[in-house]
C-alpha cells in the first residue's frame, strides 16, 4: 500500500494529542506538514503534496467558511477530515456542507483516526457514529416515512430526486 500523505492543521495542537502524535505510530501514514493555521507560510504547498488534510473545527472558525471551500476548489483531490468537539449535528452538517468528507469527534481520535484516514484515502466518507446518531435521530423525528411515494409526494422540487 502506498503511504498516505497527511497534513494536520490544528489551531491549538497541544490540545489535540491524538492528531499528529498518533500519526507517527502508523507506518502507512506520512506526515507532510503540521500547522496551527491555514495562513502559515508553506502550508498550501504542503496541501498540494497531501492526500488527506486533518483539521480541527477551530480552523474553520479562524479562517472562515470561504477558506475551507477554497481549499477544496484549489485541491479537489485532497480529502479532509474535521475533528470536532462534542456531538452536535450542526457542526457535522456545517462541515459536510463545506465539502469536508469526514467528521470525527475529538473523543474518538485515539481509537478511530487511523480508520477514518484510510477510509477517506480510499474514497469513502467518514462520520463518527456519535456524530451521525444525533443527525439520524433528528431526521427520524422530522420525517417518518412509510413508503417511497409518500417521500416523493412530500418533495417540493422533484428535479432533485435521484
Per residue in 19-53, pLDDT (tens digit) is 667 777 788 999 999 888 888 888 999 999 999 99
Does some domain include residue 34? yes
pLDDT over threshold 80, residue 118: yes
Answer with the residue of higher pLDDT: 121 or 150. Answer: 121
105 lies in a domain?
yes
Give me the domain span that covers residue 124.
Answer: 4-128
Do residues 49 and 5 lie in contact, with contact meaning Cβ atoms separated by under 8 Å?
Answer: yes
Kindly state the average pLDDT of the residues 104-128. 87
Specify the DSSP class assigned to residue 3: P
Into how many domains does the chain fold? 1
pLDDT for the residue numbered 45: 92
Domain membership of residue 110 (yes or no) is yes
More confident residue, 8 or 108: 8
Distance CA 68, CA 24 (A): 26
Would you say residue 41 lies in a domain?
yes
In a domain, 20, yes or no: yes
Question: Residue 121 belongs to a domain with what CATH number?
Answer: 3.40.50.2300
Q: Is the pLDDT of residue 121 over 80?
A: yes
pLDDT at 159 over 80: no
For residue range 67-111, what is the model confidence (pLDDT) as tens digits? 888 888 899 999 999 888 876 677 777 788 788 899 888 877 778
pTM: 0.77
Residue found by looking up cell 479532509 in the block:
80
| Mean pLDDT score, 117-135 | 83
For 99, the grid coordinates are 465539502
Judge whether 147 lies within some domain: no
Q: Going by C-beta distance under 8 Å and a sequence separation of 6 or more, which residues neighbour residue 44?
A: 38, 74
Segment 106-130 mean pLDDT:
86
Amino acid at each position: 500500500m502506498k503511504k498516505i500523505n497527511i497534513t494536520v492543521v490544528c489551531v491549538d495542537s497541544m490540545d489535540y494529542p491524538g492528531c499528529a502524535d498518533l500519526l507517527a505510530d502508523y507506518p502507512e501514514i506520512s506526515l507532510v506538514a503540521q500547522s496551527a493555521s491555514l495562513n502559515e507560510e508553506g502550508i498550501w504547498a504542503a496541501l498540494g503534496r497531501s492526500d488527506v488534510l486533518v483539521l480541527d473545527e477551530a480552523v474553520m472558525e479562524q479562517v472562515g467558511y470561504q477558506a475551507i471551500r477554497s481549499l477544496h476548489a484549489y485541491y479537489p483531490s485532497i480529502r479532509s477530515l474535521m475533528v470536532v468537539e462534542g456531538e452536535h449535528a450542526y457542526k457535522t452538517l456545517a462541515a459536510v456542507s463545506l465539502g469536508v468528507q469526514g467528521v470525527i469527534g475529538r473523543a474518538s481520535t485515539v481509537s478511530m483516526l487511523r480508520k477514518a484516514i484510510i477510509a477517506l484515502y480510499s474514497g469513502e466518507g467518514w462520520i463518527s457514529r456519535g456524530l451521525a446518531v444525533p443527525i439520524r435521530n433528528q431526521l427520524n423525528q422530522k420525517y417518518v416515512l412509510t413508503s417511497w411515494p409518500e417521500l416523493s409526494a412530500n418533495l417540493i422540487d422533484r428535479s432533485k430526486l435521484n
